[in-house]
Amino acid sequence: EAGVAQSPRYKIIEKRQSVAFWCNPISGHATLYWYQQILGQGPKLLIQFQNNGVVDDSQLPKDRFSAERLKGVDSTLKIQPAKLEDSAVYLCASTEGLSYGYTFGSGTRLTVV
């Protein structure tokens, strides 16, 4: 089966600019997650979708981050305006059930300068 697709792989922007990341989960996976992984740290959950509804966004900095999941399939994560501390890898993951674990995409490495 095809894996979790993410784009772009890399992005360099200046602070205060905006950026968007895209994720296409594995077909049939109802649950989708966005994680932020800062260098040297473990992944930190930003937002969780069940189908096209948000079930947990408690760690999402809502003043600058937003996310949506169109029709319960693809998802986009947006940052506007970006700060230097947003430099990280943004990982998308999906699952068909916890017992199967999560499958991660290849991630988007964001550098804010």
Give the binding site for other proteins (CB under 8 A).
31, 33, 35, 40-45, 48, 50, 55-56, 89, 91, 98-99, 101-107
CB of 54 to other proteins, least distance (A): 10
**CB of 31 closer than 8 Å to CB of 49:** yes
CB of 103 to other proteins, least distance (A): 8
Would residue 28 be called left, alpha or beta, if left means φ above 0 and alpha means ψ between -120 and 50 degrees?
Answer: left
Which lies closer to other proteins via its Cβ, residue 58 or residue 70?
58
Beta strands in 1-113 (DSSP E): 5-7, 10-13, 19-24, 31-37, 44-50, 53-56, 65-69, 75-79, 88-95, 103-104, 108-112
Which lies closer to other proteins via its Cβ, residue 44 or residue 83?
44
CB of 16 to other proteins, least distance (A): 27
